[in-house]
Amino acid sequence: MIIMFMGEYHHTIDDKGRLTIPSKIRYELGEEFVVTRGLDNCLFIYPKDAWNEIILKYKDLPNTKDARNFMRFFLSGATLTTFDKQGRINIPSPLTAYADLIKECVIIGVDDRLEVWSKDRFESFMETNEANMTEIAENLFAPKFNV
């Protein structure tokens, strides 16, 4: 079964680092999933199967300084997680600090993963990049799809 996450959801994180994941997407995540540092100061959440595929790809990386540094960044923050009875996940404090998750959060679906952003950072990302989306889409898709 191919899973594709999409959509935008607004939730709050409490003082204990608990964040409710929308019921609509809990099933796709499965019982166990991985939360880790993502790029652009957000968190990535992967279903366990997708995470295992990523790890297999990492094992093929060359033993270069860039590869080692990226793996340290990405894997050191990774934690296997489950839902509590209220559909919340507990995000460890180093990850909440990295993503600046204080109160209001935005959870977005991005194909094989979820991303968790602080509301302020997500709004800033959108403001910075919205005007460029047409050009980005043309650069990415026009040669292949005649957009």
Has residue 139 been placed in a domain? no
Number of domains in the chain: 1
Residue type, 41: N
Has residue 137 been placed in a domain? no
Has residue 98 been placed in a domain? yes
What's the pLDDT score for residue 129? 86
* pLDDT tens-digit series, residues 100-132: 999 999 999 999 999 999 999 999 999 988 888
Parent domain of 81: 8-119
144 has a pLDDT exceeding 90: no
What's the pLDDT score for residue 94? 96
Has residue 56 been placed in a domain? yes
Q: How far is CA 59 from CA 41, 54, 62, 126, in A?
A: 24, 9, 8, 34
Has residue 39 been placed in a domain? yes
Kindly report the CATH number assigned to the domain that includes residue 72.
3.40.1550.20
pTM of the model: 0.90
146 has a pLDDT exceeding 60: no
Has residue 136 been placed in a domain? no
Task: Tell how far CA 41 is from the center of its chain.
Answer: 10
Has residue 93 been placed in a domain? yes
* pLDDT tens-digit series, residues 16-63: 999 999 988 998 999 999 999 999 999 999 999 999 999 999 889 999
